[in-house]
Amino acid sequence: MRYSSIKFYCFAQVLLLSLSIKLIGQIETLTFDKKTMNVVLRQTAMPELGDSRLEKILTRYYFEGLGGPEHWDEVESLRVLGTLKTSGKELQIAAYQKKPTFIKMTLRDGQNTVVLGYDGEVAWHILLADRSEAKVMDAEKAREFIHSAHFGNYLLYPFAKGKTISYIDTVPIEGGICHQIRVVLESEFQVDYFIDIRSYLETKVENTDLRDQSVTSIVYTDYIREFGMPIAKTSSTYEDGRKISELTIDEVKVNSGVMPWMFKMPR
């Protein structure tokens, strides 16, 4: 190898190393002082944060995207009616959610009705057409369903146990520019939120199952506000880059009198 080639090779390695250091330096993780951390801070949707880039993004997301405490604190539950289109099927969906992690979904295709639920402890399902009994979901399906049951998203309650929040980059997504914020959970899911830099609404959410590296992405469009809370009327779901479904919301009702017992598994 000639001297000039060796020189170029060494220069390239130094350049790559410096770029790697620069990229690593861009990643910023939310930290806290263990001495001052307490239950109140862990249970606060968005406590007062500092002036780092990540902390400013989280604060603006809460106040500008979600409407701040005057809206978020007033919302206790949601009822959503809509149409779910999958490959070759069109399902009518009625979904109920209640803070913090209660969820119940009813799916109808004209012949069959399936109900899925989670009461904060047990994830279950039932097929009503054959009058079968409700059953507890198997462990892996329950894990995935419970992950999706979280009211709001994992950017809220940033100091809650079991997660790490990091700023990754600011990137072009779906025709806009978004902040990419990553949440790594103890449940072995990684969630990347792509927050529009102007509206501070979610443009895309990417869920990675760290057990098998499978990726499910949801792209949100056509936002409306109900009770000050942003609701995407259309959301398209992709698995490993392939579109598998599209949900169109027809009706949303906030605080519709949903009670915890409604999410219990039928006996």
Identify the pLDDT of residue 25. 44
**Residue 186 structural domain:** 26-263
In a domain, 13, yes or no: no
The per-residue DSSP string of 150-213 comes to -SS-TTSSTT-TTEEEEEEEEEEETTEEEEEEEEEETTSEEEEEEEETTT--EEEEEEEETTTT
Q: Which of 152, 227, 160 is nearest to 193 (CA)?
A: 152
pLDDT band at 62 (very low <50, low <70, confident <90, very high): very high
In a domain, 10, yes or no: no
> Cα-atom radius of gyration of the chain, to the nearest Å?
22
Q: Is the pLDDT of residue 5 over 70?
A: no
In a domain, 1, yes or no: no
In a domain, 20, yes or no: no
pLDDT tens sequence across 103-126: 999 999 888 899 999 999 999 999
CATH number (domain holding residue 79): 2.50.20.10
**Reduced to 3 DSSP states, what percent helix, strand and coil does the chain have, rounded to the nearest 5?**
20, 45, 35
In a domain, 153, yes or no: yes
In a domain, 15, yes or no: no
In a domain, 234, yes or no: yes
In a domain, 74, yes or no: yes
pLDDT tens sequence across 236-256: 999 988 999 999 999 999 998
Domain count, the chain: 1
CA distance 115 to 127: 7
Q: Is the pLDDT of residue 67 over 60?
A: yes
pLDDT tens sequence across 164-215: 999 999 999 999 999 999 999 999 999 999 999 999 999 999 999 999 999 9
- Of the given ranges (37-51, 52-66, 188-202), which has the lowest mean pLDDT? 37-51
CA distance 203 to 179: 10
